[in-house]
Amino acid sequence: MNSTVFILDDETLLLRTLSNALRDEDFRVLSAQRVTDGREVLAMDGEDVELMVLDVKLPDGSGLDLLEQQRKSGYSGPVIVMTAFDNPESERRCRQLSVDHYIRKPFDLGEILGLVQELTRGNGIRLGADGTGSR
């Protein structure tokens, strides 16, 4: 069975582009554009999610709030957080929530695809104190 990736981002073009690129690499993709919709998707089909790719700032909340809820519910898999806003508080929360990589928008599609492939193979990257990913 293919690895399942959950993507939460409110930018339609980015969500569609990333979802299609991951499907082209044989990943199963679940997605949502709002935190409330993401909670519903994960409640119905989240047990198979192996990796989450989450935006920080969304119209109805934060992807970090969704991640915090999922961590409390037992999700221990890898997470990539993406944001267009540099924010030390978000980076601190990412470290607290064991985020594997914090990536700033705009990003190279190949870079995030490489991270997804690496993290789903178990070659984890953990967010360092400086906010960058490291092995």
Condensed to tens digits (0 to 9), the pLDDT of residues 30-86 reads 999 999 999 999 999 988 999 999 999 999 999 999 999 999 999 999 999 999 987
All structural domains of the chain, each given as residue ranges with its CATH number in brackets, are 4-134 (3.40.50.2300)
pLDDT at 126 exceeding the cut of 60: no
* Residue 29 pLDDT: 98
* Residue 8 pLDDT: 99
For 18-76, give the DSSP string: HHHHHHHTT-EEEEESSHHHHHHHHHHHGGGEEEEEEESEETTEEHHHHHHHHHHTT--
pTM, two decimal places: 0.88
User: Measured at the alpha carbon of residue 76, what is the angle toward residues 104 and 85, in degrees to the nearest 5?
Assistant: 15
Q: Which two tokens stand for residue 11?
A: 């930018």
* Residue 109 pLDDT: 95
